[in-house]
Structure 1
């Protein structure tokens, strides 16, 4: 929108303001200047402003001058002339019955005789060109010029249009009060004393809404300059077009316009705007805030008890100043945002992070790096098995949410079913959450970590081969990598002899009996978790009957107890033997579910100090599905070279062990 520098300067004094400073402050206040044109012929500058939709009140030279006077804290030069409505016709519409009136809705009708349609002066055409307004007849051009100068104008009509009861006033609020019937009554009163029914006669209608106490001017509302606009309009019409101005008739209606009051807490101002630049821990003080609110013509009232301001929003700003944050933004705009800190101060000191917090983050990051996605489920559920240890909820909302969960795996199985239903083929998820148990009358709460992996395209031997699904060894390796990355001394092995009884802390019923591995704390030899293949009877719906799903659940606190911080690792040094080793590769025919750990323990039984290591290098099934395991046993002495007798004893002892293993 384009504005004339000269026209703005008529309302407020801009002579003492540097033009570059004017551009900068206007931009910082949200009124960005797109372009500036110099009109040497008229010794004027044309300012093209980009005005946002929330500042719709800035459309005239007067409204822009009021905004500039607010930004630069300078007064308006033009003094508003009080509205004289005392002798006007009082008119009571239904709108104002039984209400306390605060404002005057005012209408003034002027008859003009013997108007000559003269050519519009060049200076006026230039102003219309600046505003990009279409040029019609001279009277209409004057009307548009007045509107762009004062922010309000008159309506042009005649007696015939009044009789036809056509709507002339565009203002919705005034149209409700001064409708066509009311205007006709006023015009009829004029017609009794004046004759203006010829074609050259015109009726000019001036309307406004003003405060009842019109002596109390704040110079913040274009409506307060109604009389100034009226005088300017009549002068222009008579000077340019001639004509005879008849005595005007007018009417008024007392109406209620509620003041929009807002409460502004000083604490919220400080939180939103922050510190003043170059002032450590220094906010805008109360006096400065109060002065800015006065400058914005919001007329604040301070309440010391709750340290807040009560402000009155002007009628012409009611469309954009609706919330507390809007007023805070105005304060920042006037004070200028560049004088606040634009960066949050960075502190070099760091808060204490507990070992538990560090390890939980490390576990999360490790599982994410291994390709698992974290999920979060609600702890209120219905467990698969009904048990006395299940904590029940009194008066549950639904049947599916009547207990606290005793494990996380059941929720992950539900996640799996949901994803399979929506055609998600590869599911690799984990959750860190709380589980609950009941021990007599005591309820316990623990943190567990659980995971579920289903992937039928997990690996391939070569690029030419097709993908293969994940197996138990791959899944076991994922858990081993997790334990290694968090420096845990926990180990994976089969059930020990003293742990044959059912463990209530872990959902063993979800696992296949022969496809589960326990996780032990090496120090206490206690179970801290379990991993293995999911028993398919717990899957309600699946796409492939041969699919394999692997799951794990670990007590998080017990797992963290098995870890050591990186700067407290214990290293064990052993003497390296300088004597040669003897290696034996053997192939064992075993039953399908014989544990490898049990085989190693059997070989190490007795006096086997010469055994240095036992490694599994192969496992396969022949065409008859008979299981074979390839093992490499290394023998070495720390103080001598092994002789023929030592080697013969090794071979005899090894043959006996193999016979025992294959017989069992």
Structure 2
């Protein structure tokens, strides 16, 4: 579809230098500019329009769209239509809100009437073949306004030929033409024709009986008659009019503010701020929408202009128009989740640190059920799920040994595992405790020589692993041997725990855990052998209490300069028993921001010229640097002078 820029500028003024910006905004509105052809006195735009924007088929349609997206005022305003009061009364009886309006004129065309060149040029641009002057004007009006009048040619004693677009008004047109008064004025020659203007109008009437909308029906009607009168040199007489009222269903659309926010997203990048009610109303006003906001329901009742009634029929259609005008780039669709972190307890933070440290040392975490079938010293459950889970466990090592047995069936590799779990002790009152338990089995840990087989991990190596763990988590504990034999119970299997190492809280010397070597016998089918297994159990809450609770950093952040430094090496003479630190302290006390560091790098003695005594000298290296600039010769000269004054004052002290 082609548009004459000169014709568009009859309605709105747009600078041709803004074409690039105009093209981008038209593309967002479903109007793609495919090519631009520059002529001597005009610019022709070849435009592709999406199927739903069929109202953009004329210079007025394009100008009306530019008025919205560029926010530029149009030269013309819609002319109000004056309705016959008698007709209004009859329309109200049928409670109509729309009516078809038809006007009929007779025109006399003479032989010497010719079409002006500027109309012919415009028809040529649109590949329209010229015909008679009245038909050329008809096509020109269609190109300019998007609608035009109809032409009826009638000869005496012949049937009236009515265009199919006017079939709904055929009876009125035929009756009017056959009217005696009208008939006397018409058809005296073959050059007299009838033109018909047919429009749809909305029945919105105020106290002045004026129909007000954003349609340009009256404008195109007056413009058509003006052009016709200008080139046929004939006056145009009175017209005959016809009203045909009817009613359409409610065309108001409910537009919820919640749906606008949900679909379009927020308007600021890092906040949940949405487009506000005032901005929405301003955009609806630009789009020529009649709207009413219902506060308690937080929605708009919206009614679009007549020329957009074909494509704005749903809520989502209006939301899309709002996004086009506000600008798609001004919405942020990515969901922003709250970055605020909830409060984490000290126990939770320290437990994460414990688990991470054990994993870094090569341990794997296991999770076992707290239910067991071992009834010795265990608390019985009143409603067990099955016979094998009737009791609550009273130790954590039993489950770790089961993990070890299961692992040994499928692999003979080293096994280092730990578990954070709960145990239950029987007493006057049942007691629940959280323990950190672990198992170390490493039969291929030591190899003294490549010619010899690898050996099991030793007691001291197992102890070293636990010491490394406790040091990394900064636990204030100590490890000491517990004298004597301690018998441990792990289900129906028995094992003696010898050489037990106790883990003590260094502050109050209370034992919080143990490290044990188990001589554990197990059997797998016919194969039997004895392996060394080390286990440890630590009371978790007591362990966390021994860890350092750091509430502040042990370092201070300072800005780092990006500018180069200058180094000065000074030789300072001091007394034989004098302290050079006093000089350094006085330099620092001077608080010169350009002095970055002072370093003593040498000391030597030198004989005087008469060789009667020795003089003591100290080499000091001073680094100058600025945070904001590169130091020049004047800066360095001033610093040197200050430091020399300080040295002269303090070197004999």
TM-score (norm 2): 0.51
- SS for the counterpart of 1:305 is coil
Q: Which residue is 2:125 aligned to?
A: 130
Q: Which residue is 1:100 aligned to?
A: 95
Q: 1:572 aligns with which of 439, 463, 468?
A: 439
8 Å Cα contact 2:152-2:162 kept in structure 1: no
Q: 2:173 aligns with which of 179, 183, 193?
A: 183
The answer on 1:287 being equivalent to 2:278 is yes
CA separation of 1:156/1:162 partners in 2, compared to 1, >3 Å: closer, same or farther?
farther
- SS for the counterpart of 2:96 is coil
Q: Which residue is 1:220 aligned to?
A: 214
The answer on 1:237 being equivalent to 2:232 is no
How far apart, CA to CA, are the structure 1 residues paired with 2:522 and 2:156? 111
Q: Which residue is 1:300 aligned to?
A: 291
Question: Shift of residue 194 of structure 1?
Answer: 1.1
Question: Would you tell me which structure has more strand in proportion to its own residues?
Answer: 2
8 Å Cα contact 1:259-1:312 kept in structure 2: no
Q: 2:190 aligns with which of 183, 199, 205?
A: 199
Question: Shift of residue 187 of structure 1?
Answer: 0.8
Q: Which residue is 1:62 aligned to?
A: 60
Q: Which residue is 2:307 aligned to?
A: 316
8 Å Cα contact 1:186-1:250 kept in structure 2: no
Q: Which residue is 1:76 aligned to?
A: 74
How far apart, CA to CA, are the structure 2 residues paired with 1:352 and 1:163? 95
How far apart, CA to CA, are the structure 2 residues paired with 1:228 and 1:37? 29
Give the alignment's Cα RMSD to 1 decimal.
5.3
How far apart, CA to CA, are the structure 1 residues paired with 2:196 and 2:532? 119
Q: Deviations over 1:207-245 (max 9, x none)?
A: 112345386565622xxx333323332343344455664
8 Å Cα contact 1:614-1:632 kept in structure 2: no
Question: Shift of residue 149 of structure 1?
Answer: 0.8
How far apart, CA to CA, are the structure 1 residues paired with 2:532 and 2:327? 84
Q: 2:138 aligns with which of 127, 139, 143?
A: 143
Q: Which residue is 2:32 aligned to?
A: 32
8 Å Cα contact 2:2-2:44 kept in structure 1: yes
CA separation of 1:324/1:139 partners in 2, compared to 1, >3 Å: closer, same or farther?
same
- SS for the counterpart of 2:288 is coil
CA separation of 1:289/1:17 partners in 2, compared to 1, >3 Å: closer, same or farther?
farther
How far apart, CA to CA, are the structure 2 residues paired with 1:23 and 1:64? 12
Q: 1:332 aligns with which of 318, 323, 326?
A: 323
How far apart, CA to CA, are the structure 2 residues paired with 1:19 and 1:133? 27
CA separation of 1:89/1:575 partners in 2, compared to 1, >3 Å: closer, same or farther?
closer
Question: Shift of residue 152 of structure 1?
Answer: 1.2
CA separation of 1:324/1:613 partners in 2, compared to 1, >3 Å: closer, same or farther?
same
Question: Shift of residue 146 of structure 1?
Answer: 0.6
How far apart, CA to CA, are the structure 2 residues paired with 1:274 and 1:59? 33
Question: Shift of residue 637 of structure 1?
Answer: 11
How far apart, CA to CA, are the structure 1 residues paired with 2:137 and 2:336? 57
CA separation of 1:161/1:283 partners in 2, compared to 1, >3 Å: closer, same or farther?
farther
How far apart, CA to CA, are the structure 1 residues paired with 2:442 and 2:250? 92
Question: Shift of residue 128 of structure 1?
Answer: 2.4
Q: Which residue is 1:20 aligned to?
A: 20
8 Å Cα contact 2:59-2:146 kept in structure 1: yes
Question: Shift of residue 6 of structure 1?
Answer: 1.6
The answer on 1:273 being equivalent to 2:264 is yes
Question: Shift of residue 321 of structure 1?
Answer: 1.8
Equivalent residues in 2 for 1:498-513 (5 A)?
none
Q: Deviations over 1:374-402 (max 9, x none)?
A: xxxxxxxxxxxxxxxxxxxxxxxxxxxxx
How far apart, CA to CA, are the structure 2 residues paired with 1:133 and 1:316? 25
Question: Shift of residue 31 of structure 1?
Answer: 2.9
Q: Which residue is 1:378 aligned to?
A: none
- SS for the counterpart of 2:8 is helix
Aligned length: 413
The answer on 1:159 being equivalent to 2:157 is no
8 Å Cα contact 1:8-1:64 kept in structure 2: yes
8 Å Cα contact 1:108-1:249 kept in structure 2: yes
Question: Shift of residue 175 of structure 1?
Answer: 4.0
CA separation of 1:350/1:18 partners in 2, compared to 1, >3 Å: closer, same or farther?
same
CA separation of 1:505/1:309 partners in 2, compared to 1, >3 Å: closer, same or farther?
same
How far apart, CA to CA, are the structure 2 residues paired with 1:488 and 1:338? 50
TM-score (norm 1): 0.50
How far apart, CA to CA, are the structure 1 residues paired with 2:23 and 2:298? 36
CA separation of 1:292/1:202 partners in 2, compared to 1, >3 Å: closer, same or farther?
same
Question: Shift of residue 79 of structure 1?
Answer: 3.6
8 Å Cα contact 1:37-1:45 kept in structure 2: yes
Higher relative contact order (CA 8 A, sep 6+): 1
CA separation of 1:110/1:572 partners in 2, compared to 1, >3 Å: closer, same or farther?
same
- SS for the counterpart of 1:572 is strand
- Of stretches 145-154 and 82-91 in structure 1, the one that deviates more from structure 2 is 82-91
Task: Structure 2 unaligned segments of length 5 or more: list them.
Answer: 345-363, 375-383, 400-419, 423-434, 454-492, 494-518, 534-653
- SS for the counterpart of 2:37 is strand
- SS for the counterpart of 1:573 is strand
Q: Between Structure 1 and Structure 2, whose CA radius of gyration is higher?
A: 2
- SS for the counterpart of 2:290 is coil
How far apart, CA to CA, are the structure 2 residues paired with 1:15 and 1:215? 39
Q: Which residue is 1:9 aligned to?
A: 9
Question: Shift of residue 60 of structure 1?
Answer: 1.4
How far apart, CA to CA, are the structure 2 residues paired with 1:284 and 1:5? 35
8 Å Cα contact 2:103-2:196 kept in structure 1: yes
- SS for the counterpart of 1:252 is strand
Q: Which residue is 1:436 aligned to?
A: none
Question: Shift of residue 318 of structure 1?
Answer: 1.8
How far apart, CA to CA, are the structure 1 residues paired with 2:531 and 2:88? 120
How far apart, CA to CA, are the structure 2 residues paired with 1:103 and 1:162? 36
8 Å Cα contact 1:612-1:634 kept in structure 2: no
How far apart, CA to CA, are the structure 2 residues paired with 1:316 and 1:352? 58
Question: Shift of residue 196 of structure 1?
Answer: 1.0
How far apart, CA to CA, are the structure 2 residues paired with 1:260 and 1:17? 40
Question: Shift of residue 154 of structure 1?
Answer: 0.9
CA separation of 1:292/1:218 partners in 2, compared to 1, >3 Å: closer, same or farther?
farther
